[in-house]
A = this chain, B = another copy of it.
Amino acid sequence: MYTSETKIRVRYSETDQMGYVYYGNYPAFYEVGRTDALRQLGTTYHTLEEKGVMMPVASLSIKYIRPAKYDDLLTIKTIVKELPKMRMHFFYEVYNEAGDLLNVGETVLAFIDMKRNRPVACPEWLTELFAKQMGF
């Protein structure tokens, strides 16, 4: 299992008139989490796209437990449980500063060869980066 942590300070623009973070902002927060997971692993999603592979999201699910508020300093915990093959699963847990679990989520991403616009397997070099961290 590989876990990384990212801090996000809630912006005013991300609140709605309920006074909480709009439910539709968490997918972007999750994306920041998985971007950071790659960076902490020693690469970037940017690099992946430069090498001609993009990772569109195939599915998303979120369970909302408690709301986040303006100016809260959130911790996004991004978790990878298995080595990526044709698809890659990311799990997310979002906490506030008090340590309350605010929501949990999951995304499944595909690997697409940008030139041919076709699904491909996870590039070997990326699998290896995860394998090294996950002790395989």
Residues of A at the B interface (CB closer than 8 Å) are 9, 11-13, 15-20, 22-28, 31-32, 35, 44-46, 54, 56-64, 67, 70-71
Contact = CB atoms under 8 A, between A and B. Distances in A.
A60 B23 contact: yes
Contacts of A22: 12-13, 28
A57 B23 contact: yes
* Across the A-B interface, the 7 shortest Cβ-Cβ residue pairs: A24-B27, A13-B28, A15-B17, A61-B61, A23-B57, A46-B71, A24-B28
Total copies of the chain: 4
Contact of A18 (B28, B35, B54): B54
Contact of A24 (B16, B25, B63): B25
